[in-house]
A = this chain, B = another copy of it.
Amino acid sequence: MESQKEITIYDIAKKVKLSASTVSRALQDHPAINKKTKKKIFDVAEQMGYRSNLFARNLRQQRTMTVGVMVHELNSSFMTSLLSGIEKVANEAGYAVVITDSSGDIEKEMTNARNLFNRRVDGVITWLSSNSKDLDHFTVFVDKSIPIVLIDSLQQHAGITSVVIDNRMCGYMAAKHLIEQGCRRLAHITSSLKTPVNALRYKGFRDALAEHKIASKERLVVVAPVTEEGSIEAAGKIMQMNPIPDGVFINNDFAAAVCIRTFLENKVKVPQDIAVVGFNNDAIGTFIRPTLTTINYPGKEMGAAAARTLINQLNGVGTIEQASNLTLRTELIVRQSSVKKR
C-alpha cells in the first residue's frame, strides 16, 4: 500500500535538485530562501508524505519540546482540571506533555524523576503530596538548569517556582462571609493543622475573627480525616458543643456534604442553625440541598499558569528570580448553605 520507508529531507532534496540544507531551511520558513523555492519544497514535501523527524531535530538542538508532569496521585477531579490546563497551554506552545504518577510512592517518584530527566524533558511541573517532602530528587533538574514549577506547595527552593493560591485569604474569606451572615461562634473542620496549606487557611480564619473582635477558641476546631466516617464523627463533635456553633468552615467539600447531611439527620438546620462553607468547589456542592457555599479552587487555571510560567522560563522570558511565586486569585462561591440573611 504505502511506502513503509520514511521520507527524509534528502529525498526531498533529490527530487527538487537542491541540497538538504536548503530543504531544511525552507521547511523552517527561513527568510533567506527564495519564495518560489520554498513553495516548491513545501509542495513536494506534502506530496511525498514527509514528516519531520523530531528526534533528529532534538538531537541536534538539544531540546525535546516536552514538559514532564509528575503527580503523586492520579485520581481526583482536581487532577483532571490541572492536566487540562497544562495540556492546553503547553500544546499551544508546541510542547508535548508527558505525565507520570507516583501513586504516593516515594520510590516511584524518584524513578519517575529520573526517567523524565533521561528523556530530557525541557521542564517539569509537579504536584507533590501535601506533607512536606524534601526536594532532593529535583536537584538533578536544578543542577542542569531545567526549570521546575511546583503546584500548590509552599516549599521554597532556589530556582524553583511555585504556583499557589492564597490559602490564608481563603480562610479569611470563608470566616468573614460567615461573620457577615451573622455567625458569632465559628467552628472549623480540617484534616490536619500540620500541613502549611491548612495552617494558613486556619490562620486566615482566625484573622477574620480577630478583625471582628470575635474570640477564636481552639476547642472549636475539629481535626478529622476526609472520609465518610471521619466527617460524620466531626459533625457529631460539632453538634455536641455547647452552645452549638452557628457557623462552620469545613476544609473540603466532600466532608462538608457529609456534615450537612449529618446535621440535617439530627434536626440541626442548615443554614438556619448552622451555616456551612466548604472548600474546593466540587461538583457535589451543587447537587446537595442546601447547595454548598464554597471556595473555588482553580485547578485548570493553576495548570495553565504553571505551564505558562514554565514555558516563559524556557523561552527566557521572565527570569526565574522575577516571579518565584505565583499566587492565583480564589473566590468565594455563595450558595444556600451559608445564607442566613435575605
Contacts and interface: CB of A to CB of B under 8 A. Distances in A.
Interface of A: 1-2, 4, 51-56, 58-59, 64, 66, 74-77, 79-81, 83-84, 87-88, 91, 96-101, 103, 112, 115, 117-120, 143-145, 228, 254, 257-258, 261, 283-284, 286-287, 289
Contact of A120 (B55, B75, B287): B55
Given A1-B143, A115-B96, A257-B287, A88 B59 contact: no
A193 to B, nearest CB: 26
A119 B96 CA distance: 9
Nearest to A265: B289
A230 to B, nearest CB: 14
A75 B81 contact: yes
Contact of A74 (B87, B120, B289): B87
Contacts of A80: 74-77, 79-80
B64 A88 contact: no
Interface core residue of A53, A58, A96, A289 (most chain B CB under 10 Å): A96
Contacts of A75: 77, 80-81, 84
A2 B143 contact: yes
A66 B54 CA distance: 13
A91 B100 contact: yes
Interchain residue pairs A-B with the least CB separation, the first 10:
A74-B84, A55-B55, A2-B143, A55-B59, A55-B58, A98-B98, A96-B98, A87-B101, A77-B77, A51-B118
Contacts of A118: 51-52, 54
A254 B77 CA distance: 15
A93 to B, nearest CB: 12
B96 A97 contact: no
A330 B286 CA distance: 29
Contact of A84 (B64, B66, B101, B258): B101
A245 B323 CA distance: 61
A53 to B, nearest CB: 7
Contacts of A120: 53-55
Contacts of A96: 98, 100, 115, 119
17 contacts: A2-B144, A4-B145, A56-B59, A74-B80, A74-B87, A75-B81, A75-B84, A84-B101, A87-B101, A88-B101, A91-B101, A91-B112, A96-B119, A97-B98, A228-B286, A228-B287, A257-B287
